Amino acid sequence: TGGHSDRVFQISSELGRRCNISRTEQLHLEGGALLHDVGKIGIRDGVLLKPGPLTDSEYKEMQLHTIIGAQLVKRLNCLYGCLDAILFHHERIDGYGYPYGIKGSEIPLIARITSVADAFDAMTTNRIYRKALSYERALEEVLRNSGTQFDPEVVRVFVTWWEDTFQNNPQKKKELYGENSIYVNHDEAF
């Protein structure tokens, strides 16, 4: 997950700047985005590396990575501000996320930003259980889930970032996703 965490960090950093958050919030966002999946070290490899769909109990185990990550990071006082992004990046605006089912503005902004960055990168990279979606298809999914899974204001900022990165600056896209940054015919459902 190292490449994934780095890309989520980079995307989140840019979105945070574009959302005009304070310098302190930006530092908490960046640290939280980089460490958002650290709790996966407490999840069994059989669940993390499973090539097919997770069972209900495996899915519940996977959901624990947010709590495990927060518990790990909480021990380091210097990273305390990063906890919100780690703990809440799978919460949804409509309240159907995890681990607590909080919704709307109850979800800290840095977690709402990390959520969009995390989902976009997850959709646009190959996973053991599915092939990557094209960048365009992933953008469509983010837009489709605006107001349910994602904060509409963060999505608005994300769309501007996406256009700047994937339409107007091929070098920036290449820096983020490397030489193999074009996926063809990977439009399976996420």
Q: What is the mean pLDDT of residues 56-81?
A: 96
Question: What is the Cα–Cα distance from 1 to 113, expressed in whole angstroms?
Answer: 19
> Tell me, what's the pLDDT at 183?
36
Q: What is the mean pLDDT of residues 96-107?
A: 98
pLDDT at 177 over 90: no
* Closest-CA residue to 86 (of 49, 33, 47, 50): 33
pLDDT at 182 over 70: no
Q: What is the share, in percent, of the chain residues with pLDDT greater than 90?
A: 79
Question: What is the Cα–Cα distance from 179 to 37, expressed in whole angstroms?
Answer: 25
- Contact, 129 vs 51, CB < 8 A? yes
Q: What global pTM score does this model have?
A: 0.91
Question: What is the Cα–Cα distance from 83 to 19, expressed in whole angstroms?
Answer: 19
Tell me the angle at which helices 2-18 and 23-34 cross, rounded to the nearest 10 degrees.
160
Mean pLDDT of the chain: 91
Sole residue written with tokens 């996966």 = 40
Residues found in the chain: 190
pLDDT at 166 over 60: yes
- Contact, 187 vs 137, CB < 8 A? yes
Q: What is the pLDDT of residues 10-45, one digit of tens each?
A: 999 999 999 999 999 999 999 999 999 999 999 999
165 class by beta-carbon count within 10 Å (0-12 exposed, 13-18 middle, 19+ buried): buried
Lowest mean pLDDT among 22-36, 88-102, 172-186: 172-186
Lowest mean pLDDT among 4-18, 101-115, 124-138, 166-180: 166-180
* Closest-CA residue to 3 (of 136, 178, 174): 178
Assign 96 a pLDDT band (cuts: 50, 70, 90). Answer: very high
Question: What is the Cα–Cα distance from 124 to 58, expressed in whole angstroms?
Answer: 23
> Tell me, what's the pLDDT at 1?
63
